[in-house]
Structure 1
Amino acid sequence: MIIIRNHAEFETHLGKEIGTSGWHTITQEQINMFAEATIDHQWIHTDPQRAATESPFKATIAHGYLTVSLLPYFWHQIADVQNLKMQINYSIENIRFAQPVIVNSKVRLIAKLVAIVNLRGITKATIGVTMEIENEKKPAYTGEVVFLYHFNA
């Protein structure tokens, strides 16, 4: 894990891979809880028996948005951004889902700093993200997440 205390420290990582998170197993319980929270009960996610017989994956799959919602969890394993007044999740851009995440798969995040701008004292950091699936060649998704960091002076 890297520690970032200010804009200048953050900027030293421009164009570089910042790190890789630990693995996380996507369970049926987690999928079901996400379905409850988002009112998205599509059978491909929540009905293991039907998925076993009717799905091309022969099992349930995680909601794409469930995997995206894990970005902050994984990001905090990669970078400890300190000395903050406030952090804002600014945007998620160009997310491309390449492969579904089958229940009980392990996923992790790789992060790279692709852009950083000082907006009159606010750091706008664009992080390139790739969610890998253990033992799979194609990632679950790739894209960018943008954070605004208000560092203390």
Structure 2
Amino acid sequence: MREIAFEDIPTLVGQELAVTEWQTITQSQVDLFAQATGDHQWIHVDVERAKRESPFGGPVAHGFLTLSLLPMLLGNSVRVTGAVMGVNYGLNRVRFTAPVPVGSAVRGRVAIKSADRLDPADTLTGGPGWQFVWSVTIELQGFERPACVAEMVSRSLAAPVDASVVVPSTTPVR
């Protein structure tokens, strides 16, 4: 786990910060993802048919399942000290560059592509914040080509400097 001090963030732009541990993709994960998303395409969930008919020689993970690993890979490899919360802000670019066979292992290479300071008025906490663009390459063990290359945007938010500041609730009124 790489710890980054909130105030040191700008000095780390352009640097690789972490290489995560390998994570094995299981058929159970693929089936659960299919159930959650309604994407039951046979190349993912029909093991016997995928072995017989798929150009991949067996079932493969959904591209979006691979992409959905980003928060876990980041969360297990980088922690911003001094932040009270981190929030996902979206994606700039995503490419699924190779299939991920069930039973294979993936890991992430994580770098900060950019970091922009947020005005406290633009944060959920009323305190200082950073908006990052993370460059994440999801590598596939035993293959030269990565499985996924993505730019993930997130925000790291700190508590207000002035403790008397009241943070507005984001809970909807019913």
- Superposition TM-score, scaled by structure 2 size: 0.84
Written as runs of structure 1 = structure 2, the 5 A alignment for 1:40-79 is 40-79=39-78
Residue of structure 2 equivalent to 1:113: 112
Residue of structure 1 equivalent to 2:147: 140
State the Cα deviation string for residues 31-67 of structure 1 (Å, max 9, x = none).
0011111111110000010001110011000000001
User: Highest relative contact order (Cα 8 Å, sep 6+), 1 or 2?
Assistant: 1
The answer to whether 1:3 aligns with 2:10 is no
Residue of structure 2 equivalent to 1:124: 131
The unaligned stretches of length 5 or more in structure 2 are 120-127, 162-174
Greater per-residue strand proportion: 1
- Superposition TM-score, scaled by structure 1 size: 0.95
> Hey, what's the Cα distance between the residues in 1 that align with 2:67 and 2:91?
9
Instruction: Give the drift of 1:85.
Output: 3.0
Give the fraction of aligned pairs with identical amino acids, expressed as a percent.
38
Instruction: Give the drift of 1:87.
Output: 1.7
Instruction: Give the drift of 1:4.
Output: 2.1
SS in 2 for 1:12: helix
Q: Which has the larger radius of gyration?
A: 2
SS in 1 for 2:12: coil
> Hey, what's the Cα distance between the residues in 1 that align with 2:54 and 2:63?
16
The unaligned stretches of length 5 or more in structure 1 are none
The answer to whether 1:99 aligns with 2:106 is no
Instruction: Give the drift of 1:17.
Output: 0.3
> Hey, what's the Cα distance between the residues in 1 that align with 2:135 and 2:158?
21
> Hey, what's the Cα distance between the residues in 1 that align with 2:155 and 2:132?
6
Instruction: Give the drift of 1:92.
Output: 1.3
For 2:2, give the aligned amino acid.
Answer: I
Instruction: Give the drift of 1:96.
Output: 0.7
For 1:56, give the aligned amino acid.
Answer: P
For 1:119, give the aligned amino acid.
Answer: L
